[in-house]
Structure 1
Amino acid sequence: MKIYVTRKIPEAGLALLRPLFDLEVNLEDRPLSRAELLAKIADADGVLCLLTDKIDAEVFDTAKKARGFANYAVGYDNMDVAEATKRKIPLSNTPDVLTTATAEMAWALLFSAARRVVESDAVMRSGEWKGWGPLQFIGQEITGATLGVIGSGRIGRAFALKSAGFGMKVLYTDEYPCAEMEERLGAKRVSLNELLEQSDFVSVHVPLMPSTRHLIDEAALRRMKKTAVLVNTSRGPVVDEAALVRALRDGVIAAAGLDVYEAEPKAAEGLAALPNVVMTPHTASATVVSRNGMATKAANNLIAMLAGRRPPDCLNPEIYL
């Protein structure tokens, strides 16, 4: 059986697949074009794909032999789950293994934006620093501040729990209460508007769905404190990026830390020119432990699919009923 991997992933995952299948991997360090993707998967029995690959009806029509698609990501907004379920094609993702890495990156962005680390680093490297001054690079203090967490799933919860060492007041908003956050942190579940109005730091941890697209829009940004910092490590389109550019430029909020963007790999016009935003290129899961874990999970999911078994991280388990 033939497996196609749409972009090279860590060897930990490929090593599981290589002895079992005829394995072909896209070795170019770029996403495939649509035409390239369709051509490569036409005779595949299984596909290991990435968030940059749109897995939809056209893909299913092309890959007629495919017995499953394993996403190398925890998110799966690139996959048409309903269409796959209708056709009884299993899909999977890679939950849990990138929880810690993503939560840590959210904190890295929060600290960097709050304390103006990147901005001051650039001045120091430029050779233009004239020496210490009492009004230079004044930022926001984290200890004792109010932290707002939008979404208390795996990553949002892990992020929030790391605030304990800073004695922060924690607010969160979610469809469901989180007993662990409430018991361990004294966190309070509130409405989104209340969270935005009261928080010094707001971190976004929701999946991309129709209901969360532009969840943080111009109106939401205007509800935030002028001293507030926004962090997004979830999905780019959850934040209206053009509205964020205006808010940062006009002093509606103080700063932002972003790892995801609305139209990746591009950022909204004017965003990169702003000194009060810290930008990383979708690298929240980029640790050895996390990326190896993602690779092995995706590989094991695909192995199960091709053996006719329900994969451990199946997105449409009802097809096995």
Structure 2
Amino acid sequence: MSKPTVWISRKLSDNTQARAARDYDVILNDDDVISSADDIVAMSARADAILPCHSELFTADVVARLSERTKIIANHSVGVDHCDLDAFRQKGIVVTNTPDVLSDATAEIAMLLMLGAARRAPEGDHMVRTGSWKSWSPSFMVGTQVTGKRVGIIGMGRVGQVMAQRCRGFGMEVHYHNRSQLPSELEHGATYHPTVETLLPVSDFVSLHCPATPETTGLMNADRLALLPAGAIVVNTARGALIVEADLVAAIRSGHIAAAGLDCFVNEPGGNPAFANHANIFMLPHIGSATRETRDAMGFRALDNLDAFFAGSEPRDRLV
């Protein structure tokens, strides 16, 4: 019996691609180029399954044009805002994702951004690298202390809960907003806020960990940024669409927001050139899950979903 054909749309970890080649006929993207809509449609005629990343955009139009051959989309990501799930549902194509396995890595990046933004890491690094560090005084490079401060976490799912654990290690007072309150054994003393509007005024730091949906797009706009205490710091490792970027720039310029740490942007790749004018915005190129361990785990989780599907079982992480 011939093996199912799987198109792996981006270059994944060596271990992932080796396992995929063992169990499937694979079509690889060794040049790691981003596929256009037409590329995706063309490849669907050659593959029984597609293993994409968030860089492949499955709009309603793309989904409608997919070949009947493709039966499952096994995403190499937790977020699926690049997929029109309703369109997939109507098309009868199964969609899965890779939850759980990237929570630690993403929370690490969130803490890096929080600490780096608070303690002016980009400015200090630039100063030493360029040889412009010429003096020292008690008023030199004074930043914001993280230890003992209040953190507001928006989205208390897997990543948000790990972030809360890391923040408690710094003695931070944890507040959170979620679609529903967690059971007390998962809160670990965190304070629940039924609305974002009650959370923000008590958040010296706010860290975003919710998905990008029609309800959360533009969540952090001028009005909500104004609710934060003066000197607050904004951290985003979720999706760029959660922040109205022009409003964040305005809040940074006014001094109401002291700093920001961002791993994701409205436009990716590339980011927002307006942010580059502000040394107190610490930026990374969407690398929240970029560790060797996590990349293997994500690839294996996606392949687990494919294995279950082609064995006639329900994929563990089925969304549609």
CA distance in 1, matches of 2:64, 2:50: 11
SS at match of 1:243: helix
Which structure has the higher relative contact order (CA within 8 Å, separation 6+)?
A: 1
Residue 100 of structure 2 corresponds to residue 104 of structure 1: no
Root-mean-square deviation (CA, aligned residues, Å) is 1.6
Residue 54 of structure 2 is matched in structure 1 by: 51
Residue 78 of structure 2 corresponds to residue 74 of structure 1: yes
- Which stretch has the larger CA shift, 217-226 or 97-106? 217-226
Residue 21 of structure 2 is matched in structure 1 by: 18
Q: Is the alpha carbon distance of 1:135 and 1:181 closer, same or farther for their aligned partners in structure 2, counting shifts above 3 Å?
A: farther
TM-score under structure 2 normalisation?
A: 0.94
Q: Where do residues 146-295 of structure 1 align in structure 2 (5 Å cutoff)?
A: 146-180=150-184, 183-295=187-299
Deviations 1:78-129 (A, max 9, x none): 1121222223211100000001111111011000000011211111111111
Deviations 1:178-221 (A, max 9, x none): 23577523434353122211211110110110000000001111
Equivalent pair of 1:242/1:268 in contact (CA under 8 Å): no
CA distance in 2, matches of 1:241, 1:285: 23
SS at match of 1:170: strand
Deviations 1:238-270 (A, max 9, x none): 011111112112212000000000111132341
Residue 7 of structure 2 is matched in structure 1 by: 4
Q: Is the alpha carbon distance of 1:45 and 1:190 closer, same or farther for their aligned partners in structure 2, counting shifts above 3 Å?
A: closer
Equivalent pair of 1:17/1:303 in contact (CA under 8 Å): no
CA distance in 2, matches of 1:50, 1:253: 33
Equivalent pair of 1:161/1:185 in contact (CA under 8 Å): no
Deviations 1:29-48 (A, max 9, x none): 33112222222222211110
CA distance in 1, matches of 2:185, 2:140: 36
TM-score under structure 1 normalisation?
A: 0.94
Residue 319 of structure 1 is matched in structure 2 by: none
Residue 6 of structure 2 corresponds to residue 34 of structure 1: no
Residue 89 of structure 1 is matched in structure 2 by: 93
Equivalent pair of 1:43/1:64 in contact (CA under 8 Å): no
Tell me the number of residue pairs that the alignment of Structure 1 and Structure 2 aligns. Answer: 316
CA distance in 1, matches of 2:47, 2:78: 23
Q: Is the alpha carbon distance of 1:186 and 1:70 closer, same or farther for their aligned partners in structure 2, counting shifts above 3 Å?
A: closer
Equivalent pair of 2:44/2:50 in contact (CA under 8 Å): yes
Q: Is the alpha carbon distance of 1:180 and 1:10 closer, same or farther for their aligned partners in structure 2, counting shifts above 3 Å?
A: farther
Equivalent pair of 2:63/2:87 in contact (CA under 8 Å): no
Equivalent pair of 1:164/1:185 in contact (CA under 8 Å): no
CA distance in 2, matches of 1:35, 1:90: 21
CA distance in 2, matches of 1:186, 1:44: 47
How high is the sequence identity, in percent, across the aligned residues?
37
CA distance in 2, matches of 1:173, 1:263: 26
CA distance in 2, matches of 1:237, 1:220: 15
SS at match of 2:111: helix
CA distance in 1, matches of 2:114, 2:184: 22
- Which stretch has the larger CA shift, 185-194 or 42-51? 185-194
CA distance in 1, matches of 2:185, 2:156: 8
| Cα distance, 1:234 vs structure 2 | 0.6
Which ranges of 4 or more aligned residues in structure 1 deviate by more than 4 Å? 180-183
